[in-house]
Structure 1
Amino acid sequence: MRIVDVNEFYSPTGGGVRTYIDRKMAVMADMGHELIVIAPGRRDWVDDRRGGRIIYVKAPGMPFDANYGLFWDAAPIHALLDRLAPDIVEASSPWRPAWIVGKWQGSARRVFFMHNDNVAAYPMRWFERFAAPEAIERSFAWYSRYMSRFLAHYDAVLTNGPALAKRLTARGVRIDGAMPLGIERGHFSPALRDERLRADLLADCGLGPDAHLLLGIGRHHPEKRWPLVIEAVRRASRSRRIGLVLIGDGYERRRLERLAAGAPNICLRRPMYDRARLAAIMASSDALIHASEAEPFGLVASEAMASGLPLIVPDSGGCAEVADRHCAELYRARDAGAAAEAIGRLLNRDPALLRRAATVAATRVRTDVEHVRDLIAYYEALLPRRQRVAA
């Protein structure tokens, strides 16, 4: 089967989407399928990979994030789709790509794959001080109606997990199925825990090895709510010795640096592309803390769980969906005080029992192979019988 993904969110310097697609391409290749990504780039060029390729089409950059581009012209994308003759075409951006793929005249099955919730990520955050969540939802019902118009052109509408499916269905958006993502579980393991590395990370926070080490990983973007995490750690640190290491980057970095100023127990680190090193840091920490209730799936939470790392996460969103309650504390979303209390609850647990529960949970994390296998089975069922046999 040949799948073409017209993906505005793919970038060679991107985060979760790039990681997901690169791994998905490799897994599909192992299963005998081909994945080709059409992505915006600064110039036209092709990056050949095992089992597929990334075709970059020259496009304007995103105004507020130089890592990404924006599609506008349909002609070059339609020409590529005509030439590639895919079995399935995927789209995930609700802006121009949704219409470009939806109105392409080819015979392939079209699938819209929902990776994010723009209402939760933006207006719910922008206006939370002025109105209740229900009122904000009602005010932005027009966005759901807009999505329904382009989704009418698609054969199937999928989400990357149950959290997003529940939200969108509640708004009246058509959802045909949830395809929970998975991770490369073998890359992460509780066995990678390194007490010397843990001590070094705590030393960077000005603390000794008897302190607690919390880890935060993600883009420095407002929807991640890192200021809430910093405030929660400040509050929790009044009664215990806690170090926080935040790994990531983005246009909010300077703000986070200002918020962390004067708090030597909070250490900001640049993104880490050495996955073996990152896996070791995960396994060597005491808990992962996250604050984005807009997270549609929670890949980083799954990676942390596969590393044997307990979670401190909000009570709504993708991280809450994947959290194992035996080794996690949930707190009221958007509430720094509740997050501080959740930190205290987790650190008050028996460390040996908590670590044992987290080690068991690590073996249950969904894998990317399981995700791709389920996705391929769904796509094969969409194809006409003759095409299915050929695939």
Structure 2
Amino acid sequence: MKIVDISEFYSPTGGGVRQYVDQKFAAASRHGHSLSVIAPGTEDRIETRAGGKIIWIKTPQLPLDPNYRMFWGKEAVFAAIDAEKPDILEGSSPWRGGWLAAKWPGNAVKMLFMHADPVAVYPQTLLAGKLSPKNIDMLFGWYWAYLRNLNSHFDGCVVAGSWLAKRFQRYGLKNLHVAPFGVETSRFHPGLRDEALRTEMLAQCGLGPDAALVLNVGRHHPEKRVPTLIEIVKLAQKDHKIGFFVVGDGFIHNTIKAKADTVPNVHLAGWVKDRELVARMLASADVILHGSSAETYGFAVAEGLCCGTPVVVPDSGGAADLAAPAYAETYTPGEAEDGARALSKILIRDRAVLSRAAVTAAQERIGDLDGHFDKLFALFESQLTKPIRLREPVICEDAYVSPEHV
């Protein structure tokens, strides 16, 4: 099977998307498929990979984040698709990349992969505390109409969680398929807990081993709400001795640093590229504190649970889908006081009991990446046996979302 993926947010310096695409190449190779990823780059070139290749197309830089670039004209992308002659054409974003896949005039099966919930990523993050999530969804009815229009050009739409499929279905998207993500379960396990590393991490926070080590891992992007997490820690420090160790970087890093400078015992470690070290950090933390309610799947949370580390997460989104009372506490997204309540509550619980429950849940609920790609490729193959439907543009003029969609 020949798969072409228009991957708008693939970047050599990217985070989760880069890791996912790299793992997708390895899976394609194992399954005997050919994967060609079309990505925006600094120059036109082809990079050979096991399992396929990356077709870099010279494009301008994304203004807000120098790590990423953006597709502009369609000619070079269409020419690359024509040359590849795909069986499956995948659009991996709801923006320019998705529309390039939608408008390509060839006969491949077209699949839209929604790696995020854009309304949750942007409006619900920026308007948190001002409007309820329900009212924000209503306010952005025009965007749901836009997404229904894009969706109508594809033979199917893939999401990584059943919760997101249900949410998209409520707003009128069709032909939804779930291929749950997974993590490298062999790499993340409770046996990696290292008291010496824990002591070292707390020392970098300016504390001794008698303090609680709270960890966050992720991109420094508004949707991750790291400044809110720092405020949560600040409030919880009134009752607990807490060191907050933050792994990550991104275009709002300076904002995060400014916030961290106002709160004691917060250490910004930057990116940690050594995945084995990240696994040991996740296992050695006492609690993982997570801020995003917009992710389709909480990778760092899932990896932490595999390590037996309890979590504090927002009560909606992909991370919430992984949480349960036996090993987690939840809070209202973006609400620092509620987050501090949840963090304080988990810190007085028995970590050994929480850890055992987390490991059991991980074994029962969190699959590995091989399972995800098995399901994804099986889905693609099943689509090849179906007639490609007529893709007449569906113009969605209704900016208002009717009550049955809420």
TM score, norm. by length of structure 2: 0.91
Which amino acid is the alignment partner of residue 180 of structure 1? P
**What is the aligned partner in structure 2 of residue 377 from structure 1?**
378
Residue 130 to residue 348, structure 1, CA distance change in 2 (3 Å): closer
CA distance in 2, matches of 1:120, 1:359: 29
Aligned 8 A contact 1:283 1:304 in 2: yes
Q: Distance in 2 between matches of 1:333 and 1:381?
A: 38
Is contact 2:310-2:351 (8 Å) kept? no
CA contact (8 A) 2:125 2:334 kept: no
8 A contact 1:195–1:284 mirrored in 2:
yes
Could you tell me whether the CA contact under 8 Å between 2:230 and 2:263 is conserved in 1?
Answer: no
* Secondary structure of 2:68 counterpart: strand
Structure 2 contact 128–334 (Cα < 8 Å) conserved: no
Q: For residue 319 of structure 2, what is the aligned residue in structure 1?
A: 319
- CA shift in 2, pair 1:234/1:102, >3 Å: same
Greater Cα shift, 89-98 or 214-223: 89-98
The residue aligned with 1:140 is 140
Kindly state the Cα deviation for residue 163 of structure 1 after the two structures are TM-superposed.
3.0
Aligned residue number for residue 114 of structure 1: 114
Runs of 5+ consecutive residues of structure 2 not aligned to the other structure: 389-406
Partner of 2:288: 288
**8 Å CA contact retained: 1:164, 1:297:** no
Q: What is residue 351 of structure 2 aligned with on the other side?
A: 351
- Separation (CA, whole Å) in 1 of partners of 2:166 and 2:69: 29
Residue 56 of structure 1 is matched in structure 2 by 56
CA contact 1:257–1:268 (8 Å) conserved in 2: yes
Alpha-carbon distance, 1:134 to partner: 2.4
Q: Mean alpha-carbon deviation: is it higher for 127-136 or for 267-276?
A: 127-136
Q: Distance in 2 between matches of 1:30 and 1:324?
A: 34
RMSD: 1.7
Is 1:77 the counterpart of 2:67? The answer is no
In the alignment, is the contact (CA less than 8 A) between 1:283 and 1:308 conserved in 2? Answer: yes
Q: Distance in 1 between matches of 2:41 and 2:289?
A: 34
Q: Which residue is 1:368 aligned to?
A: 369
Shift of 1:301: 1.1
Q: CA contact under 8 A between 2:286 and 2:351: conserved in structure 1? A: no
The structural deviation recorded for 1:46 is 1.7
Shift of 1:332: 1.9
Distance, in Å, in 2 between the alignment partners of 1:115 and 1:48 is 25
**95 and 356 in structure 1: CA distance in 2 versus 1, 3 angstrom threshold:** closer
Partner Cα separation in structure 2 for residue 198 and residue 211 of structure 1: 10
1:336 aligned partner: 336
Aligned residues: 387
Q: 1:210 to 1:130 in 2, by over 3 A?
A: closer
Whole-Å separation in 2 of the counterparts to 1:56 and 1:256 = 32
Asked if 1 retains the 8 angstrom alpha-carbon contact of 2:329 and 2:346, the reply is yes
Deviations 1:191-240 (A, max 9, x none): 11111000000011111111111100111111111111111111111111
What is the aligned-residue identity percentage?
Answer: 43
CA distance in 2, matches of 1:128, 1:240: 27
- Aligned counterparts of 1:159 and 1:217: Cα–Cα separation in 2: 23
1:135-172, Cα deviation, whole Å (9 max, x unpaired):
22112111111122222211111112123222222222
Give, in whole Å, the separation in 2 of the partners of 1:193 and 1:130: 41
AA of the residue aligned to 1:373: D
Give the drift of 1:262.
4.2
> Contact 1:189 / 1:362 at 8 angstroms: preserved in 2?
no
Unaligned runs of 5+ in 1: none
Mark the CA change 1:238 to 1:40 in structure 2 (over 3 Å): closer, same or farther: same
The amino acid that maps onto 2:161 is G
Q: Secondary structure at the match of 1:326?
A: coil
From the superposition, tell whether residues 146 and 238 of structure 1 become closer, same or farther in structure 2 (CA, over 3 Å): same
Secondary structure at 2:105 match in 1: coil
Specify the alignment match of 1:248 in structure 2.
248
Distance in 2, matches of 1:138 and 1:385, equals 35
Equivalent position of 2:278 in the other structure? 278
For 1:174, give the aligned amino acid.
K
The SS at the match of 1:66 is: coil
TM superposition shift of 1:43: 0.5
Matches of 1:155 and 1:161, distance apart in 2: 19
Shift of 1:132: 3.1
Looking at structure 2, the residues matched to 276 and 99 of structure 1 have their Cα atoms a distance apart, in angstroms, of: 38
SS in structure 1 opposite 2:66?
strand
CA contact (8 A) 1:169 1:175 kept: no
Instruction: State the shift of 1:324 in Å.
Output: 4.0
Q: Is the 8 A contact 1:92 1:112 kept in 2?
A: yes
Query: Which residue of the partner structure matches residue 161 of structure 1?
Result: 161
CA distance in 1, matches of 2:14, 2:183: 17
Aligned to 1:11: 11
Tell me the TM-score normalised to structure 1 length.
Answer: 0.95
Residue 385 of structure 1: CA displacement? Answer: 7.4
Q: Which amino acid in the other structure matches residue 378 of structure 2?
A: A
Structure-2 separation of matches of 1:353 and 1:129: 34
CA distance in 1, matches of 2:130, 2:188: 42
In the alignment, residue 264 of structure 1 is paired with which amino acid?
Answer: P
Matches of 1:316 and 1:385 in 2, distance apart? Answer: 35
**Aligned partners of 1:77 and 1:86: how far apart in 2?**
13
- Decide whether the 8 Å contact of 2:224 with 2:292 is kept in 1: yes
CA contact (8 A) 2:248 2:270 kept: yes
Local SS of the residue matching 1:185 = coil
Q: Distance in 1 between matches of 2:352 and 2:156?
A: 46
Q: Secondary structure at the match of 2:20?
A: helix
The answer for the alignment partner of 2:403 in structure 1 is none
1:240-274: per-residue Cα shift (whole Å, max 9, x none)?
A: 11111011112221222221214331111111111
**1:246 aligned counterpart, secondary structure:** strand
Runs of 4+ in structure 1 off by over 4 angstroms are none
Q: Which has the higher contact order (CA 8 A, sep 6+)?
A: 2
How far apart, CA to CA, are the structure 2 residues paired with 1:25 and 1:325? 36
Give the structure 2 partner of residue 216 of structure 1. 216
